[in-house]
Structure 1
């Protein structure tokens, strides 16, 4: 960015062991969260200056119990965490950004609780690029994953970094799309940056780190606890200028991300689906709440003045509204249907129908229900 030194010229804050110890000590003090850390920094300066204060001085900003916890001498656990972090930082591509690092993404400062520390694998500059987030169901349909990948590819080809959460389903597909263009992709994770969850995404995580960044606010070694993911979602919302929800159930973490994005003044977009599809309910709820209904990448990118880029990206997107040439897909709905009904409406012979239904099941585009009923998942 104009007016800033190249990233290579910036000293990595984590290379100063004393400075790193002070940041880790402050961020990991019992009962101390990002909001309290920011209050202490605003009042006293950098962490090392915080630790020169008395309990009485800190108590003017935080409750006395928290002040005592901050000033407690670091124990073996913290010293082990420091050693582990310093060893991790010796590995190529690993970075630790503090709130005062010039590379810290400015958009995260819109949060009331920006993380004091960001652990990054990859290029920290990826977090400062114009970005669009894509989120959705882990148990996404084949069509949902195809949409996420196609929209992600289009965004990335238009120079937008694709932000998502490395989860199964929509997230993984969005990252794959982001890797196809110059915008690249950023994965915000709910574990320590030295872990990959789910494990099956190990190769994908390596590719993301090579062509973008993996970012976490959690200390190294942190497992994927349930409460971590809502915290992760707020970072996804903050890093992007807009959030697209591809598929989501009525109660979905993607709706949390969308709400957080709206609260931050980001644009929210949602892809509609069948009224009978459970994974369309969350998107329909968002649309009723004011999210923009989208059917193509143009619908998203025109909001940000990116129409000049559309010619090269629109032909790659499989649209839900296109009429299919498959006679079975043309009649298969989200409402369960019997074999006799499908045979009558599709015109397929029973043996051909059975073969085609099995193929669609294996592709994740159809589901067999009790009573030998079938419904579409796309």
Structure 2
């Protein structure tokens, strides 16, 4: 086997090792370098490695590993590991970050500026309408809507972002081949085609109660901020919001009637420091500068990787002296154009373009139209 195949086999073996966990595996990688060497260390034992993980590493379930390989062989199925340059940087930065992700869709979309939209599974009609309204507006402004594919607010936000021609990311609490809930199978297919399905759980993993809080930390970790639309006082959405706060990310909560039990979780978050949010413009105004920084970070990584230029510094006000922004403005006309067409014209990756277009829109240089198209702003 070549080196890449050996490393993939090692990753698949270690991700499934019982009791090993992301933190311990990360320490092993730091100590031993290559993942194949970390696997050999687990097989030898010691180093605070549990016997169950050692036994698995010495004799893993061949059928499970073969099933993982078969899943990865399908189109648009990927294993994204922590030492991969395409691993999403915001997620890499959080405490307890996952060590590997199973991805359905284009992995670079995980770099796009994201807003988590979460809330109750048993949402009211008003709550669902609010989730759809915010998701449509966020997608129209160039943000990717991220949520957990659950019933209620999650599903409404995913569907509205897609209907607006935007991108959406669903973080699963199961393996990538075990969708939950079943009634969202069609929605999951739409997300896989125009966005991303992502999970830290390997193929074949069924949903268990302890998986969903782990999923929630990834939802928060991928996102610049988390919006809670409607949540009871014991809602799982509050777990996502707490993770976001612990990760140093912004949390936004929509207030409701004092008589609505599904507003109490939002009110508690506001008391704890979340931003009371009434309009999508408030949220976009807070997060747009962070989205610009993320775009600069991606462009810097690509420049360094290609040796074409040093890592990009944050662009100055107006963006006029930044060559990538100059390139983008030159590629835009007054006729609406899709972001994919702009990627072809400029040679810039879609995630970076998404961040840049958002900044230019807020600076009055670009108009974002419905259906995910962009054009130059007409002068007054």
Normalising by structure 1, report the TM-score: 0.73
List aligned pairs for 1:240-259, cutoff 5 A.
240-259=223-242
| SS of structure 1 residue aligned to 2:126 | helix
Rate the CA distance shift 1:202–1:130 in 2: closer, same or farther, 3 A.
same
Name the residue aligned to 2:53. Answer: 69
Specify which of 94, 118, 133 is matched with residue 135 of structure 1.
118
CA distance in 2, matches of 1:15, 1:86: 16
Name the residue aligned to 1:21. Answer: 9
Specify which of 103, 107, 110 is matched with residue 90 of structure 2.
107
After superposition, the C-alpha distances for 1:245-294 in whole angstroms (9 at most, x for unaligned) are 00000011111110110111110000100001010000000011111111
Rate the CA distance shift 1:314–1:267 in 2: closer, same or farther, 3 A.
farther
Name the residue aligned to 1:290. Answer: 273
CA distance in 1, matches of 2:57, 2:368: 56
8 A contact 1:154–1:314 mirrored in 2: no
Specify which of 172, 197, 215 is matched with residue 189 of structure 1.
172
List aligned pairs for 1:38-49, cutoff 5 A.
38-49=26-37
**2:83 is the counterpart of 1:95:** no
CA distance in 2, matches of 1:169, 1:51: 42
CA distance in 2, matches of 1:204, 1:161: 16
After superposition, the C-alpha distances for 1:191-250 in whole angstroms (9 at most, x for unaligned) are 100121100001100000000100010011111111100000000000000000000000
Name the residue aligned to 1:124. Answer: 107
Rate the CA distance shift 1:72–1:249 in 2: closer, same or farther, 3 A.
closer
Rate the CA distance shift 1:261–1:73 in 2: closer, same or farther, 3 A.
closer
Rate the CA distance shift 1:15–1:104 in 2: closer, same or farther, 3 A.
farther
Rate the CA distance shift 1:20–1:212 in 2: closer, same or farther, 3 A.
same
| SS of structure 1 residue aligned to 2:79 | strand
Rate the CA distance shift 1:16–1:284 in 2: closer, same or farther, 3 A.
same
8 A contact 1:186–1:208 mirrored in 2: yes
**2:271 is the counterpart of 1:301:** no
After superposition, the C-alpha distances for 1:330-351 in whole angstroms (9 at most, x for unaligned) are xxxxxxxxxxxxxxxxxxxxxx
Structure ID, larger Rg: 1
Unaligned stretches of 5+ residues in structure 2? 289-357, 371-380
**2:66 is the counterpart of 1:83:** yes
| SS of structure 1 residue aligned to 2:50 | helix
CA distance in 1, matches of 2:192, 2:267: 34
**Two-structure CA RMSD over aligned residues (Å):** 2.5
Specify which of 163, 168, 177 is matched with residue 180 of structure 1.
163
